[in-house]
Amino acid sequence: MSQQILERNQVDAKNKWHITDFYETDADWEVEFTSLQNQLPELSAFASHLGDDADTLFACLSKNLELSSILDKVYTYSHMRLHEDSGNGTAQAMASRGEMLLVEYSATTSFITPELLSIPEETLEQFRKEKPEESALYDHFFHSLLRQKAHTLTQAEEELLAKASELADAPQQIFTMLNDADMQFGMITDADGNEVPLTKGRYVTFLESSDRNVRKQAFETLYKSYLSQKNTIAATYSSSVKGDVFFAKARNYDSALDMALADDNIPTSVYDTLVDTVHEHLPLLHKYVSLRKKELGVEELHMYDLYTPLVAEADMKIPYAEAKETVLEALQVLGDDYTKALDMGMNSGWIDVYENKGKRGGAYSWGSYAVHPFVLLNHNDTINSMFTLAHEMGHALHSYFTWQKQPYLYGGHKIFVAEVASTCNEALLMEHLLAKTDDKKTRKYLINYFLEQFRGTLFRQTMFAEFERITHALVEAGEALTWEVLNDIYRKLNLQYFGDDIVIDEDIDVEWARIPHFYNAFYVYQYATGYSAAIALSRGILQEGQPAIDRYLDFLSKGDREYSIDLLKGAGVDLSSAEPIQKALALFEELLDEFEAL
């Protein structure tokens, strides 16, 4: 791992994504930005006329899709430029203008939904009969729209909420700037005795170190920084939760959770079932913690001991080129169409590979229907980084296959299914690696990594989901979210989830303060449900072969044309029941037993 963090302009072009696939220059972006602004009055002209006749209705819907597609491209480019280097003033201004344009567009189009819902259903049906070809595209759109009629407000109210969304986005923007641009995490001494800077990108790598002192330093140094900002971040998160609650009340939902799940027709019972099912299986996590303590041979196991590989001799350093080759080899099981697309994506400028100063931390897949998917990485030549590559390419190819088959209207993915393709890739990669080795130490290492995926995705994300459920319920009951309250909630959850064989260090109480996903309310539970679905799908692909592969590729290509529950049922997984979660946890138990036997 290089000790020097490069400036953006020092990064080799071969390791940068081809953001010029959007626009050759920022000036070209400016031209399209201005053009879109100038076209918004064309949409405004349809206001108060959607009920006039079928021609007007479908002309408006068509124009809206055309301009929405342009906005998607303009907005995404501006934010990806910012994510390259959050300290770049030009990119900051572009992203801010992108946000303002989104708000302006939302306000301009805020009349569409209430006007559609004000049209008598028999009249709407008659319009659709008059325009059967145009209407066919909107079947699922109309069904979803009419389903939420009770939560759609008047045109004036919708326009007001659209304008208020810029204020509602402020907590996330503030946290992002604090977390990515302003916060400094100090220096630590690495295993070779060198003073090195701690960054978010390096943090997990340090926690994976076999040197316990390095792990402890990284842990304490990172959380010292967050503790120093505890009041600011608590106020920021509290404002975010209050915003969620405000919009839920404004739209007549029973709760913020109900609103978050209603868009995709997910009953809140799915959320509750996940938490309840994981609670029932917490003794398995406690057993894993006990095994980890035994394997590490420590008198006390601490939170900073959770990430280091238990089999140091099998520790793997995997350069990026090798990671790409392994991922491609592992996913050949999905057939030629998938692997050709995967190879193209990994070698055609979709990926921004390494950390640089000011670059957004973590990893994601984004992009635009009008261009292609992109992937942001902070690759560290570890096995975790290889799995991250497989994960994010799963997202990217989910978008790619959807964009190949679906119109822009259905080109997105609801969050409920968004993590399925990515975690299925990870599961197939793990099964591939396990199948390749009979070496006990290597196998034990891989099984431990698989167990860690369960711990980090199924258990940890469910704990996060429970934290969100508690904090939103408190605000809905009129309670305040101070840093002391948030720390107390988080500590109690850690005690419950991890059991008695680990020291719940006081520093971990403030971990909630560094989780970006908490600013997208009730997002993280879908990592856990998605992981459960992915385990079921990957097992089906490996055991059943072509029929399961065909169902899976069909799922990847359907985008948002059906409700997520139905999409997964079509692929062979029913998440309206606890069964997939129970089966995933049964596999976790099997892996625990094999790990213990090894």
Per-residue pLDDT of 395-440, as tens digits, reads 999 999 999 999 999 999 998 898 899 989 999 999 999 999 888 8
pLDDT digit string, tens, across residues 219-241: 999 999 999 999 999 999 999 99
pLDDT for residue 4:
80
Q: Which residues of 493-516 are buried (b: 16+ CB within 10 A; e: fewer)?
A: bbeebbbebbebbebbbbbbbbbe
pLDDT for residue 312:
65
CA distance 518 to 66: 32
Sign of CA dihedral 585, 590, 593, 597: negative
Instruction: Identify the CA nearest to 575 among candidates 266, 180, 285, 346.
Output: 266
CA distance 396 to 381: 21
Please, which pLDDT band fits residue 2 given cuts at 50, 70 and 90?
A: very low
Sheet containing 351-352: give its strands across.
351-352, 373-376, 364-367
What percent of the chain shows pLDDT beyond 70? 99
pLDDT for residue 1:
41
Give the list of residues 6+ apart from residue 171 with CB closer than 8 angstroms, or none: 236, 237, 239, 240, 243, 519
pLDDT for residue 200:
86
The average pLDDT across 182-198 equals: 93
With contact defined as beta carbons under 8 Å apart, do 497 and 463 qualify?
A: yes
How does DSSP assign 290-335, residue by residue?
HHHHHHHT-SS-BGGGSSS-S-GGG--B--HHHHHHHHHHHGGGG-
- Which one-letter DSSP state was computed for residue 19? G
347, pLDDT greater than 60: yes
Please, which pLDDT band fits residue 588 given cuts at 50, 70 and 90?
A: very high
CA distance 561 to 67: 20
pLDDT digit string, tens, across residues 165-176: 888 999 999 999
For 418, half-sphere exposure in the C-beta direction (CA atoms, 13 angstrom radius) is 16
pLDDT for residue 561:
94
> Which stretch of 397-406, 474-483, 486-495, 564-573 has the lowest confidence by average pLDDT?
564-573
Give how far Cα 367 sits from Cα of 74, 204, 411, Å. 11, 26, 11
User: Tokens for 481?
Assistant: 């979210």
CA distance 399 to 187: 39
Q: Of 158, 392, 468, 562, which is the active-site residue?
A: 392
* Helices 564-571, 546-557: inter-axial angle, 10-degree rounding: 160
Please, which pLDDT band fits residue 68 given cuts at 50, 70 and 90?
A: very high
The average pLDDT across 63-75 equals: 97
What percent helix, strand, coil does the chain show, rounded to 5? 70, 5, 25
- Which one-letter DSSP state was computed for residue 578? S
**More confident of the two residues 180 and 238:** 238
**How does strand 364-367 pair with strand 373-376?**
antiparallel
**Residue 307: Cβ within 10 Å count:** 20
Please, which pLDDT band fits residue 119 given cuts at 50, 70 and 90?
A: very high
The average pLDDT across 477-485 equals: 98
Report helix, strand or coil for 16: coil
23, pLDDT greater than 90: yes
CA distance 570 to 548: 10
150, pLDDT greater than 80: yes
63, pLDDT greater than 50: yes
The H-or-E segment that residue 253 falls in is none
Give the list of residues 6+ apart from residue 544 with CB closer than 8 angstroms, or none: none
Q: For residues 367, 369, 371 and 377, what is the CA-based torsion angle, rounded to 10 degrees?
A: 20
pLDDT for residue 224:
96
pLDDT for residue 133:
92
> Which stretch of 122-131, 149-158, 184-193, 370-379 has the lowest confidence by average pLDDT?
149-158
CA distance 310 to 296: 7
Q: CB pairs under 8 A, 24+ apart, for 69-72?
A: 69/369, 69/370, 69/408, 70/32, 70/35, 70/36, 70/370, 71/36, 71/101, 71/102, 71/105, 72/368, 72/369, 72/370
User: Tokens for 452?
Assistant: 């860690």
Give how far Cα 74 sits from Cα of 24, 114, 212, Å. 13, 26, 46
Answer yes or no: 130 catalytic.
no
pLDDT for residue 112:
93
Q: What is the mean pLDDT of the chain?
A: 94
pTM for the whole thing?
0.78
pLDDT digit string, tens, across residues 537-562: 998 999 999 999 999 999 999 999 99
- Which one-letter DSSP state was computed for residue 505? -
CA distance 52 to 6: 59
Residue 275 CA, distance from chain mean position = 19
